[in-house]
């Protein structure tokens, strides 16, 4: 069964925050050595557990408003295209 996480845009807005957040989400065997997106991409290619990342419409809006968070989302979606264990799902929030 996949681990499901709703992406938190607040934790995606800087290299420092991203580093810790991605280590928490993916439980990398070797924590990210470098705080950069290339190192993250390399680590994502080795993920062997089923992970589902959910992007709500509200979080997508916040992510798109921040250059680093947006680039991080692109890295995550590209990783999902290459690694069958990573899934990125976009979910529209229901109006209540």
Evaluate if residue 41 carries a pLDDT over 80.
Answer: yes
Evaluate if residue 33 carries a pLDDT over 70.
Answer: no
pLDDT on residue 19:
83
Higher pLDDT, 82 or 33: 82
Whole-number Å distance between alpha carbons of 20 and 86: 18
CATH 3.30.70.270: does it fit domain 3-91?
no
Give backbone dihedrals phi and psi of 92, rounded to 5 degrees, phi first: -80, 135
pTM of the model: 0.89
Q: Would you kindly state where each structural domain of the chain is located, as residue ranges?
A: 3-91
SS3 86: strand
Evaluate if residue 73 carries a pLDDT over 90.
Answer: yes
User: With bands split at pLDDT 50, 70 and 90, how would you rate the model's confidence at 96?
Assistant: low
Evaluate if residue 76 carries a pLDDT over 70.
Answer: yes
CA-wise closest residue to 63 among 78, 50, 74: 74
CA-wise closest residue to 76 among 49, 53, 46, 47: 53
């Amino acid at each position: 069964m996949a681990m499901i996480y709703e992406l938190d845009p607040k934790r995606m807005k800087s290299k420092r925050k991203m580093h810790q957040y991605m280590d928490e989400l993916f439980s990398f065997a070797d924590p990210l050595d470098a705080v950069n997106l290339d190192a993250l991409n390399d680590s994502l290619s080795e993920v062997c557990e089923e992970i589902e990342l959910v992007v709500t419409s509200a979080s997508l809006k916040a992510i798109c408003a921040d250059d680093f968070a947006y680039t991080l989302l692109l890295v995550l979606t590209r990783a999902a295209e290459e690694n069958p264990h990573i899934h990125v799902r976009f979910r529209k929030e229901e109006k209540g």
